[in-house]
Amino acid sequence: MIISGKELASSLKQQMAAEVATFEERYGRVPHLAVILVGEDPGSVSYVTGKAKASAEVGIKNTTIRRPATISEEELLGIIAELNADDAVDGILVQLPLPKHIDSDKVIAAIDCSKDVDGFHPMNVAALWQKQPCVLPCTPKGIIKMLKVAGVDIAGKNAVVIGRSNIVGLPVSKLLLDENATVTMTHSRTKNLGEVTSKADILVVAIGRPKFVTADMVGDGAVVIDVGVNRDPETGKLCGDVDFAAIEPKASVITPVPGGVGPMTICCLMENTIECFLKKQA
Ligand code: NAP
């Protein structure tokens, strides 16, 4: 079974659009997402464009603030302070990565955590690890939704995550743990990685290396979630961290790249923006 994140995201966005269509009458306005793009990295430009398109589909107001890569940290923090103080802004997202002269951690921590739609603010991260209400990071949230829609019973399963980044590996491990999986976190220093991954009932791969996971690293019937977004060095086309063609026949469930985790990440960003908006109305 191939889970189409694209189709699932499309149906969830339709449901959100129907809900948002009632907001003008109920609350006098619609949710407003502010996205800050620093520089012109083609990957970042494409992500920001995707977020604006999804906002339009759902009926969320989107303001994209574009600044050159030469912007100072102080100036960027000033923009965030203005957005924090603006009651008409519900969500603030700073597209990462930022240029090297800017401290990303400082910038993320400067965002009002009630407007932190990415779920990267230290307060949201702490709340996640303490099982308190919080804004969940979009990619891990989307992964759990996909597993549930595919009917995967996570409880008691042996889940292996490759990668331990703050934005994917760590939080998805925590969400799988919260779903009562037995979670193994692996990384670049893990010994005998293939031996560990081949025992996984659920394998989540977030490394950033094209087709790194080969068929011999995956057990028969495993559920495989591919987070990676890479260029295939041979074809130049987008591909994941998993060798899809070789693994799809032996996996029980697998996500494609493109059209898998990526669209669900943007869909969850829309959901988080609506959640932040609604919390302010309560
Ligand atoms: P990252 O911050 O670069 O982290 C990569 C992780 O992979 C690190 O923990 C690293 O281990 C581990 N790793 C690297 N080489 C390895 C190896 N040979 N064996 C085992 N582990 C290895 O990357 P990220 O931000 O998590 O992103 C990962 C991928 O997902 C990228 O392709 C990114 O573009 C993609 N992504 C996609 C979405 C989406 O919505 N589809 C969202 C976010 C990210 P160490 O910690 O030991 O260095």
**201-259 pLDDT tens trace:** 999 999 999 999 999 999 999 999 999 999 999 999 999 999 999 999 999 999 999 99
Question: Ligand 1: which of 141, 165, 269 to mutate, judged by most atoms within 8 Å of the beta carbon?
Answer: 165
Q: ∠222-181-108 over CA atoms, to 5°?
A: 105
pTM: 0.97
CB 162 less than 6 A from any atom of ligand 1: yes
**How many percent of the chain have pLDDT more than 90?**
100
What is the rounded CA–CA span in Å between residue 228 and residue 212? 10
Q: What integer best gives the mean pLDDT of the chain?
A: 97
What residues in the chain have per-residue pLDDT under 70?
A: none
Q: ∠206-196-226 over CA atoms, to 5°?
A: 25
Cα-to-centroid distance, 135 and ligand 1 (Å): 22
Cα-to-centroid distance, 164 and ligand 1 (Å): 7
**Which residues are marked as active site?**
51, 95, 118
What is the rounded CA–CA span in Å between residue 211 and residue 224? 13
Q: ∠182-148-7 over CA atoms, to 5°?
A: 135
How confident is the model at residue 282, as a pLDDT?
81
In the structure encoding, which two tokens stand for residue 140, read together? Answer: 């891990």
**168-182 pLDDT tens trace:** 999 999 999 999 999
**146-155 pLDDT tens trace:** 999 999 999 9
